[in-house]
Amino acid sequence: MWLIIKSAITLIVSFMLTIFPNSQLLKSADILEFKTKEDNCLLNASIVSDVHIDVDWAIGEWVWSNGLNDLNRSADPIDALIVSGDLTNYGDGPSMESFFNIIGEKNPAENLVVAMGNHDVGHVEDTTQEGARQRFVDCFNATNPTYDIEKAYYKTDINGYRFVVLVDDGEDTWDHPDMAEEQYQFLDDALAEAADRGLPMFVICHVPVEGVNGQDKIWEDGGLGDCSDRVQSILEKYENVFFISGHVHTGINGPLVENVFGFSCVETINGVNYINLPTYMIINRYGVPWGGMGFQMEVYEDEVLFRARNFGSSKWYPVYDHSVPIV
């Protein structure tokens, strides 16, 4: 009963912040203006997760397209659109193509960083899991003429900042990802070769590591499982690493959820910064419940600022902003 009451309190607070956008709690007079918080932003990226495109549900395609329209209204150039997996519901060809085609039509950012999720790999029905990964590679490259990735895990640099994308390597994994030794080594090498720049590095993986961002409380089996310790041991070798995930459909949250439930969507553990994103398309729990939510990630000289935004309604949620200092 107490758990139900606590969940209801969180939902009510989130609802009030949405219904009353001029509330003093929002600390912002102009919630619709889309620009960086400061003029000296070094990297400006929109980050979302769990879009779940399904061509049999046309409204989802509209919701995705509408959010990308919001990015195009930004007063400042957006350096990257980052999507942390579950691009589709079942990884089928038409839905995967639709996800990327909408991005191609809207062209909302200079660069694209996209990871596959369990619904894109493990839930695929019309091909093998390796076939699904190859289909992703083909669609990604077709949408990004300047890119030529060979595998669904890859690395790229944007404005000098290193991005590393991870993927489920398995052939029969469903919701529980597997990674081959080659991918662990790839992650370590990609971070090592960029570490001497002294800049933040970003790892994009759909599934969170075990026990961070409330994963163990929200979905007991919703973490990286046997892969988790190995991935964390690599991340912890380097400074200023940001691990960005999705998967568990947790809403963007702040002090209320942290005080009541003991976790946050932005946490720093053993020197690694973990960011867990809400589902863009479906209702979220333990935070702002609405779809369309994500972060505008702004990198400055001394901090990485995660600004909560609903890209569907073009509204900031400044009470849920998170600032992570660069060490």
Question: Number of folded domains in the chain?
Answer: 1
pLDDT at residue number 261: 96
* Cβ atoms of residues 17 and 305 within 8 Å: no
Return the pLDDT at 3. 39
Worst-scoring range by mean pLDDT, 149-158, 167-176, 210-219, 249-258?
Answer: 167-176
Whether the CA torsion 228, 231, 237, 242 is positive or negative: it is negative
Q: Specify the range with the lowest mean pLDDT, choosing from 20-34, 117-131, 290-304.
A: 20-34
For residue 192, give the amino acid letter.
A
| pLDDT averaged over every residue in the chain | 91
Q: What percent of the chain has pLDDT over 70?
A: 90
Checking if the pLDDT of 189 tops 90, the result is yes
pLDDT band at 31 (very low <50, low <70, confident <90, very high): low
Domain that holds residue 176: 2-325
Compute the average pLDDT of residues 79-107. Answer: 97
Q: How many CB atoms lie within 10 A of CB 147?
A: 15
> Could you tell me which of 141, 53, 68, 58 has the C-alpha nearest to residue 99?
53
CA geometry: angle 147, 161, 116, nearest 5 deg: 50
- Banded pLDDT at 175 (limits 50, 70, 90): confident
* pLDDT of amino acid 1: 52
Total residues belonging to the chain:
327
pLDDT tens by residue, 232-287: 999 999 999 999 999 999 999 999 999 999 999 999 999 999 999 999 999 999 99
Confidence of residue 32 (pLDDT cuts 50, 70, 90): low
CATH number for the domain harbouring residue 240: 3.60.21.10
